[in-house]
Amino acid sequence: MIEERHTTLDSVFHALSDRTRRAMLRSLAAGEHNIGELAAPHRMSFAAASKHVKVLEKAGLVRRRVEGRAHVCRLEPQPLCTADEWLRFYERFWPERLGLLDELLRAEDQGAASRHKRGRSKD
C-alpha cells in the first residue's frame, strides 16, 4: 500500500511532466471533453494525443466513458491531491507561501487570530 502509493506518485508526476498533458488536464478542469477536443489545440497527430490521454488515464488522472463513437474524458482529481500532499511536506521551506495556514491554525488555537496579507497567484 505504501508501495502502491509510490508507484502512483511515479506515474502521476510522470504524467504531469509533459506540457501537453498538463494542458489537457486544464481543459478537463473546465468540463468533460472527448479525445478529439483534447487533441485539437495541440500540433500533433491525433494518435499522439490519444497516447497522452492514455498516460493520464494510467496515472488515474482521467476517467474515460465511451459514449457512442466518442470517448468522453473527465478529470479525476484524487491523484493530484495525493501529489499535492507529497509536495506540501516541503511547505515549511517556501517562505510564507502557505506557512500561513499553520500560522493561522496556531493563532486560532490560541483564540487570537492575527492579521495577515494574502497574495495568491493564478496560472
**Looking at beta carbons only, is 20 or 79 nearer to DNA?**
20
* CB nearer to a copy of itself: pick between 36 and 116: 116
- Is 75 a binder of a copy of itself (CB under 8 A)? yes
Among residues 104, 78, 101, the alpha carbon closest in space to that of 91 is found at 101
The secondary structure of 33-59 as a DSSP string is EEHHHHHTTSSS-HHHHHHHHHHHHHT
Residue spans of beta strands (DSSP E) within the chain: 33-34, 62-67, 70-75
The site that binds a copy of itself (CB under 8 A) totals a number of residues, namely 46
Break the chain down into helix, strand, coil percent, rounded to 5.
55, 10, 35
Of the two residues 67 and 84, which places its CB atom closer to a copy of itself in the complex? 84
Among 1, 43, 93, 119, binds a copy of itself (CB under 8 A): 93
Interface with a copy of itself, residue 40, by CB under 8 A: no
Where does residue 96 fall: left (phi above 0), alpha (psi -120 to 50 degrees), or beta otherwise? left
Site residues (vs a copy of itself, CB under 8 A): 6, 9-14, 16-19, 22, 25-26, 29, 75, 77-78, 80-81, 83-91, 93-94, 97-98, 100-101, 104-105, 108, 113, 115-116, 118, 120-123
